[in-house]
Homo-oligomer: A and B are copies of this chain.
Amino acid sequence: MINPKNPQLNKNGELVHLLSTEGLSRAILTQILDTASNFVSVSDREVKKVPLLRGKSVFNLFFENSTRTRTTFDIAATRLSADVYTLDIARSSTAKGESLLDTIANLSAMAADIFVVRHSESGAPYLIAQHVAPHVHVVNAGDGRHAHPTQGLLDMYTIRHYKKDFTNLSVAIVGDVLHSRVARSDIHALTTLGCPDVRVVGPRTLVPSDLSHMGVRVCHTLEEGIKDCDVVITLRLQNERMSGALLPSSQEYFKSFGLTTERLRWAKPDAIVMHPGPINRGVEIDSAVADGPQSVILPQVTFGIAVRMAVMSIVAGNVA
């Protein structure tokens, strides 16, 4: 049975779905990160596979397209030896007017084990999780502006890898925080893991002051935002924001908030620079920084496979 207080957990408090980093305890976040660290080496092996999910059926349900994220889940599931089915949702029965829950009921009847769900509507993975059989697991691969928990977790993995301990870190999240499910997932995870100083940085249109209720410090200049930070997480600036009323232009944005080598000196000398990708060179980040010695953008990608392997293997081992 799903825990009524937290639909991600069963009544023993074990993770059965991953829907959000919000509501996960420090113990569970740490369990995921520890499990992931065992999987990092799998991708370096001669044979990059472990048989943990052999014969399990993982369905990629990407109602919102994302080739890159889908591929990372595909790789993670395959390296766990699962069978992966990717549905071309745009062409499928939902397009014929079938409801989301009827689609899910049908796929469950085909003996699905894990649904990896990306959806433009916030909450869609929750809705699905509430309706699947106890042996079926839902992993949120991004829902609306709400959450992108595996990205949040791989960010935590990356920070822990380079900085060891969260309890004395200053972390700055720079960019379009208002619309970013990545920022939201990072903030919840950082707070739970004991990070004492989380800052959100950007223009008022993208980083409104009331974000402070999430337990973060709101900064409207880059200098204040990344001053003496240990970690700078730059967010992707969605092109669709540029032409809107929220931002005058991408050049203007870069002038004020683009991360350059010079500005990065405001942060600590050993600060790491992160980005969820794909990067817009010359918009939110300068190439010299993205490709520079403080950048850990590509290690994030590598750790992302291990974190997704960890999440899928953990939920598959628990019953709702």
Residues in A lying within 8 Å of B, measured CB to CB = 43-49, 54-57, 65, 67-68, 71-72, 74-75, 78-79, 83, 85, 87-89, 91-93, 96-99, 102-103, 105-111, 239, 277-281, 298-299, 301-302, 304-305
Contact = CB atoms under 8 A, between A and B. Distances in A.
Contacts of A43: 110-111
A38 to B, nearest CB: 16
Given A67-B87, A110-B302, 11 more contacts: A45-B55, A46-B55, A67-B89, A67-B93, A71-B110, A79-B83, A98-B278, A98-B279, A105-B298, A108-B298, A110-B304
Nearest to A92: B67
Contacts of A109: 298-299, 301-302
B44 A55 contact: no
Given A44-B111, A87-B67, A93 B302 contact: no
Nearest to A99: B281
A213 B299 CA distance: 48
Contact of A301 (B87, B110, B301, B302): B110
B97 A68 contact: no
Contacts of A87: 67, 71
Contacts of A99: 281
B93 A278 contact: yes
A182 B75 CA distance: 33
A280 B92 CA distance: 14
